[in-house]
Every structure is written in structure tokens, then in C-alpha cells.
């Protein structure tokens, strides 16, 4: 074994691997699935994980169940189940408390029967539209919505990956897994308590950020859209839009070209520019100057002022320069109707992360024009071609109405605005519900294990056309699957190496003079803190062996300790990096890193105060 060569105990090597892994998770330089895969391969090379079992995690029931639930969640969206709910939510009215109750309550309910990130993604556009229609700051709605999706995941087996992991781990240890609704007695009570806290008190702890309620306000679009005319001696004459971009060496998006009162969207204009053409594009003062210098394009207002001022130009040498600066200040808002501008947020698993417009070939490969980027609640001022995208960035894009949804899905972006809600086919809707209900019945009566029941339901949904096969594969979150599959053997190594017993014995030694409940609270806090810096599934995988070792040390039932881990691993309320739901709302809500704990800390206390007594009541020692 490599451990013998190095001269360190296996448990020490496991802690070194886990320490480096956690540090890499917190650093965030590399995606968490790559970090998890590196931890797995490192463990194999150190002899902590047998080489023949290195990739057994990809066939683990927890991984299969998570993948199947992701497919079923997309099927619900496709069939129209959620659209019906969303249309009802939009009728809620102007009362903020009622908006919060309906939004957070709906996402909590949906998160119990589908993936919680998927539930949030479906209701995020609804929340944005509510905010805009009633002039409410989205920052008051989005963080409560994200936290509600986490609370809803506590209520059922399939609500969140930690529950599936804990159930599978219990099967490995005792031979019997938790059932679909084993989590419900505690989870539902905690979710209701959290919902009540958020709606009545918690939302007051979220920041009220102004200027986020519309595309025009977030990106200040009206102040940047300008009309430029191709004059007689302009170098732009005879160039296509692609040639114009190459000439400028810049990604300034041309939103439309107007010729003889006929306006065509920039992405649909393929001819050469002619004299008299008017270009509608998004540019600031620096870009306007560059357009004038490189290709001879000038703002229409500027041309008119130059014509009027021409006789006196020799008498006023500074007049020309003054006229050049004037249009950017006095340009009237331009009509953008029909230009298909759409906002989208970059997801955690997006292929855009750490890549630029040119690397992505956004225009050529996906037919999208990047108009602007907002980060941390404000528009980025740097050149578009220099921006490397981050998760949570809000993008203002232009593209074909028929293709933009597919392009955004391929890129891993979630549309926020200008998204229409279309009802699914009633037949498919009823079939989708019936298939899911049969899978639940099969699990309740132990006819089939969760992985088999959910996979069968996903397969039937694909076969009968509830969800196209292509979308089914797209629904499977690759990074999450790799994370789970890689960390399962590493978590087992923590147990087989004696590392879990070592941690448990340390906790037992310090807590030997205290009641068992105090140690449970300590386990809850440790697991909760871990879930706020790493993925919640990884937190559950690492803490489950420690929980079992603690229960064995106290010679009590495993169940209350496993339930403590299941609840606490999903309480990632303190940071935006602890859960994808938190990251998704950061950009649209204009939140800062420090905003999360202000609501998240008291909410965590509420969850702790409600869950521990209920766990001891439902799952006695």
C-alpha cells in the first residue's frame, strides 16, 4: 500500500485528502466535480480506495436515484404541472407578505416532489415578473425563495440528495433504507416553521436593493442604446456585420439594422451595409468614439448638429469635439420592441464559467448576441470580449425567439425575464402525475427500491413522450452526478480507515459528561457548517459515517443521528456557495456574500430548535 511507503496511517492520509479537498471546494478555482474526482483518484493512488472499486459510485443507488429524480423533475416542467401553479402564483396581488407566502410556500411544496434547484429555477422567473409588475425589489423575494427550496427538500426522500444519501447509507449499515416519507414528520414541521419565520420576520433581514426590477434599470439600457448612420464616406459601407465586428476587434452587438423604414434584428441581417442604413447598437461613450474613429459611424443626432454647426466650425475649433460628446448625454431612449432582449443567469454547472464570448463562439455557435453583463447587482463596465463569466452573472442577450430557449439550455443559463408560460398538454400532464404516483406507491409498499422505482418512472416518461430523450439527458446534472459518484468511495474510505471512529471518539471524549442531545447538537452544527462551504451532498457523505460511529459509541439507535445529518446537511443558509439555489439568486437579487448570514443565521437557529426535539420524539434513542 502507498500508505505503508509514505509511513502515515491510513486515517491520517484520509484526513489529508479531505482537508485538501475541502480547501479546494472553498477556494472555488476548480469546479467541485473536478475536485471530487481528484480526491477519488488521489485516494486510489494512496491505497485508501481499492482500484477495482474506484468507480463503483457511478452505479450506487443514491447516484441513480438522483439522476432519475432530475429527469422526472424536467418531465414535470415539460408536461405543464408547474406552469399551472405558476400562473396561479402570478395572480397573488400587491401585498408583499402574501407574495412571500405564496412564492415560498409553492417552492417549498414543489421541492418535496422534485429537485429543489429545479423547483427554484421554475419559480425564479415568476418571482422576477411579480417584482416588476408590482414594483417590488426582487432582493426581498429571491433569497426567501432560495431558502424555501432548501426547506422543501427536507420533507421527502427525493427532495434533496442528502436524504437519498442518508437513506442509502442506512440500507448499507442496517439492511433497510428510509422510506419515501420517513423524513416527513420532522421535515414538514421544520419546513413550516421556516416558512412562518421567513414570511413574518425573516424577509425584513434581507437587503432592499433598488434598481433591480427591470432590464432597463439593471443594465441602464436606455442610456446606452444609440442609433448610428452609415454616411456617404463611412468605412462601414459595404461591410457585413461580421466584417464590421472584425474591423472593430470588439464584440459590440448590433441589435438591429434599419433600411427604408424596415427594421431587421442584427442576428438576422446577413447582407452588406449601405449608405443611409441606421444601426441600433449598445455602446457607451468610449465605444462611440471608437466607432467614429475606426469605421466612421456617428450618432444621428451628432450628424444633424454637425450639419447645423458646419458654417461656424472654423470660428469655434472646439465645437466638433463638443458635438461628439453630446449625443451620449442627450440621446433619447430607443424603442427596443421586437428585439427579443432576454435576461438569463449563469448556473453553477454552466459551460460558460471562466470562459469569454470568443471562447464560447456565442454568436456563431449559439446565435446569441451579448448586450451587457451584471454582477453583484451592478452592470460590468469592462469590454464585453474581456469578461470571463462567473456563476450567478446576469446576462442581457439577444437572439432568435425560436432558438433562444434551446441555446440558453445548452449553455447552462436560466432565463429570468420575457419568459412566457405555456400550459402543457393535459394528457401528458395527467400521465406525468400518474407515473410519479405509481413510483411512490411502489416505494411505499416496498415493491421496488427507490432507485429502481424512480428509474422506471423516468424511463416510462421518456418512452411515452412526456419528455424528449434529448431533454432527458440534458436534465441530468453531470457535475452533481460526478461529485456524488466520486465522493461515495472517499466517504467509505473515511470509515474503513478508522477516520470516522477517530472523529467520533474525540466527540465522545469531550461529550462524555454531557447528555447525548448535546453531542447531537454538536453534530448538527458541524454538519451545517460543512454544508455551507461544500456541496450539501458531499457534507452528507462525509458526516454519515461519523454519525453512525457516534451512535455506536453511545450504544443508541442510529436513526436520530442519521436524521440530524440529513436535516443539517441541507441547511446551507449562511453563504451563497453552499447550495446552487443560493448562487442562482445572487446576481438577480443583487446580493453580496455577507447578505446571506443575516437571514440565514436566525433561520438556522429556528431549524435547529425545531428539529432536535422532533427527531428525539419521532426517532427516540
CATH number of the CATH domain containing 365: 3.30.70.1450
- Asked if 136 and 103 count as a contact pair (C-beta separation under 8 A), the reply is no
> Are both 226 and 208 inside the same structural domain?
no
pLDDT at 303: 40
Percent residues over pLDDT 70 in the chain: 84
Residue 154: band (very low, low, confident or very high) from pLDDT cuts 50, 70, 90:
very high
pTM, rounded to two decimals: 0.73
> Are both 183 and 104 inside the same structural domain?
yes
Q: Cα separation of 614 and 519, whole Å?
A: 16
Residue 34 phi, psi (nearest 5)? -70, -40
Q: Cα separation of 360 and 349, whole Å?
A: 15
Residue-number span of the structural domain to which 150 is assigned:
61-213+426-478
- Asked if 561 and 547 count as a contact pair (C-beta separation under 8 A), the reply is yes
Q: Give the count of beta carbons closer than 10 Å to the beta carbon of residue 418.
A: 16
Residue 226 lies in a domain: yes
> Are both 224 and 207 inside the same structural domain?
no
> Are both 449 and 473 inside the same structural domain?
yes
Residue 551: Cβ-neighbour burial (10 angstroms; 0-12, 13-18, 19+): buried
> Are both 147 and 193 inside the same structural domain?
yes
Residue 282 lies in a domain: yes
Q: What is the pLDDT of residues 298-342, one digit of tens each?
A: 765 444 434 444 444 444 444 444 344 344 333 344 444 555 678
Residue 231 lies in a domain: yes
> Are both 81 and 202 inside the same structural domain?
yes
pLDDT at 458: 92
Residue ending a domain, choose from 393, 415, 437 = 415
Residue 391 lies in a domain: yes
At residue 215, does pLDDT exceed 70? no
Q: Cα separation of 185 and 189, whole Å?
A: 7
Mean pLDDT, residues 576-595 taken together? 82
pLDDT at 358: 81
pLDDT at 167: 93
Higher local confidence (pLDDT), 403 or 184: 184
> Are both 357 and 277 inside the same structural domain?
no
Residue ending a domain, choose from 478, 499, 517 = 478
pLDDT at 264: 78
Residue 3: band (very low, low, confident or very high) from pLDDT cuts 50, 70, 90:
low
Residue 12 lies in a domain: no
Sheet with 368-375: strands ordered across: 378-379, 368-375, 394-399, 341-346, 413-415
At residue 565, does pLDDT exceed 50? yes
Residue 498 lies in a domain: no
Residue 292 lies in a domain: yes
At residue 575, does pLDDT exceed 60? yes
Residue ending a domain, choose from 392, 415, 438 = 415
Total domain count for the chain?
Answer: 3
> Are both 396 and 432 inside the same structural domain?
no
* Beta carbons within 8 Å of 411's beta carbon, 6+ residues apart: 350, 351, 352, 360, 366, 368
Q: What is the pLDDT of residues 338-355, one digit of tens each?
A: 556 788 888 877 889 888
The mean pLDDT of the chain is 80
- Asked if 416 and 123 count as a contact pair (C-beta separation under 8 A), the reply is no
> Are both 195 and 155 inside the same structural domain?
yes
> Are both 197 and 225 inside the same structural domain?
no
Higher local confidence (pLDDT), 593 or 542: 542
> Are both 253 and 278 inside the same structural domain?
yes
> Are both 163 and 185 inside the same structural domain?
yes
Q: What is the pLDDT of residues 398-452, one digit of tens each?
A: 777 667 777 887 888 888 755 443 444 555 778 888 888 899 888 888 888 888 9
Q: What is the pLDDT of residues 44-79, one digit of tens each?
A: 999 999 999 899 989 888 889 888 888 888 887 777
Residue 559: band (very low, low, confident or very high) from pLDDT cuts 50, 70, 90:
very high
Amino acid at each position: 500500500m502507498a500508505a505503508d511507503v509514505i509511513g502515515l496511517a491510513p486515517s491520517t492520509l484520509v484526513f489529508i485528502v479531505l482537508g485538501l479537498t475541502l480547501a479546494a471546494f472553498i477556494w472555488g478555482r476548480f469546479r467541485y466535480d473536478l475536485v471530487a474526482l481528484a480526491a477519488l483518484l488521489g485516494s486510489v493512488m494512496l491505497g485508501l480506495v481499492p482500484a477495482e472499486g474506484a468507480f463503483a459510485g457511478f452505479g450506487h443507488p443514491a447516484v441513480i436515484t438522483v439522476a432519475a429524480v432530475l429527469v422526472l423533475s424536467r418531465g414535470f416542467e415539460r408536461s405543464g404541472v408547474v406552469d399551472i401553479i405558476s400562473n396561479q402564483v402570478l395572480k397573488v396581488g400587491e401585498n408583499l407578505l402574501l407574495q412571500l407566502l405564496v412564492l415560498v410556500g409553492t417552492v417549498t411544496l414543489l421541492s418535496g416532489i422534485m429537485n429543489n434547484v429545479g423547483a427554484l429555477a421554475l419559480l425564479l422567473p415568476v418571482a422576477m415578473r411579480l417584482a416588476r409588475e408590482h414594483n417590488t425589489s426582487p432582493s426581498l423575494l429571491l433569497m426567501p425563495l432560495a431558502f424555501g427550496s432548501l426547506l422543501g427538500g427536507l420533507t421527502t426522500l427525493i427532495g434533496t440528495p442528502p436524504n437519498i444519501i442518508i437513506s442509502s447509507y442506512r440500507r448499507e449499515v442496517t439492511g433497510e433504507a428510509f422510506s419515501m416519507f420517513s423524513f416527513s414528520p420532522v421535515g414538514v414541521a421544520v419546513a413550516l416553521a421556516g416558512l412562518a419565520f421567513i414570511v413574518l420576520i425573516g424577509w425584513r433581514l434581507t437587503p432592499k436593493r433598488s434598481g433591480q426590477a427591470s432590464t432597463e434599470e439593471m443594465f441602464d439600457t436606455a442610456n446606452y442604446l444609440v442609433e448610428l448612420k452609415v454616411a456617404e464616406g463611412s468605412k462601414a459601407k459595404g461591410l457585413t456585420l461580421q466584417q464590421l465586428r472584425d474591423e472593430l476587434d470588439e464584440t459590440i452587438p448590433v441589435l438591429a439594422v434599419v433600411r427604408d423604414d424596415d427594421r431587421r434584428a442584427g442576428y438576422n441581417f446577413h447582407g452588406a451595409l449601405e449608405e443611409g442604413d441606421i444601426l441600433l447598437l449598445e455602446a457607451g461613450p468610449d465605444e462611440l468614439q471608437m466607432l467614429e474613429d475606426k469605421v466612421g459611424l456617428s450618432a444621428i443626432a451628432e450628424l444633424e448638429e454637425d450639419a447645423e454647426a458646419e458654417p461656424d466650425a472654423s470660428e469655434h475649433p472646439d465645437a466638433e469635439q463638443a458635438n461628439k460628446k453630446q449625443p451620449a448625454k442627450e440621446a433619447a431612449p430607443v424603442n427596443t420592441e421586437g428585439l427579443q432582449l432576454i435576461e438569463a443567469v449563469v448556473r453553477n454547472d454552466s459551460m460558460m464559467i471562466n470562459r469569454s464570448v470568443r471562447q464560447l463562439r456565442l454568436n456563431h455557435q449559439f446565435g446569441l448576441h451579448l448586450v451587457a453583463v451584471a454582477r453583484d447587482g451592478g452592470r460590468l463596465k469592462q469590454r464585453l470580449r474581456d469578461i470571463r463569466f462567473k456563476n450567478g452573472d446576469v446576462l442581457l442577450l439577444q437572439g432568435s425567439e425560436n432558438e433562444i430557449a434551446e441555446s440558453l439550455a445548452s449553455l447552462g443559463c436560466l432565463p429570468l425575464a420575457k419568459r412566457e408560460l405555456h400550459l402543457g398538454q393535459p394528457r401528458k400532464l395527467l400521465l406525468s402525475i400518474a407515473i410519479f404516483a405509481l413510483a411512490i406507491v411502489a416505494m411505499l409498499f416496498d415493491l421496488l427500491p427507490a432507485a429502481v422505482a424512480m428509474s422506471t418512472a423516468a424511463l416510462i416518461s421518456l418512452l411515452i413522450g412526456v419528455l424528449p430523450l434529448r431533454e432527458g439527458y440534458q436534465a441530468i446534472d453531470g457535475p452533481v452526478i460526478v461529485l456524488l459518484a466520486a465522493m461515495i468511495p472517499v466517504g467509505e474510505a473515511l470509515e474503513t480507515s478508522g477516520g470516522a471512529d477517530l472523529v467520533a471518539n474525540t466527540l465522545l471524549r469531550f461529550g462524555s459528561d454531557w447528555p447525548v442531545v448535546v453531542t447531537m447538537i454538536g453534530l448538527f452544527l458541524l454538519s451545517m457548517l460543512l454544508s455551507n462551504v461544500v456541496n450539501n451532498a458531499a457534507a452528507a457523505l462525509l458526516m454519515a459515517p461519523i454519525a453512525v460511529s457516534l451512535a455506536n459509541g453511545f450504544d443508541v439507535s442510529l436513526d436520530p443521528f442519521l436524521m440530524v445529518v440529513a436535516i443539517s446537511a441541507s441547511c446551507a443558509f449562511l453563504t451563497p456557495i453552499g447550495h446552487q439555489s443560493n448562487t442562482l439568486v445572487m446576481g438577480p437579487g443583487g446580493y453580496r456574500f455577507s447578505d446571506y448570514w443575516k437571514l440565514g443565521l436566525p433561520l438556522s437557529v429556528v431549524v435547529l430548535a425545531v428539529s432536535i426535539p422532533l427527531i428525539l420524539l419521532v426517532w427516540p434513542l
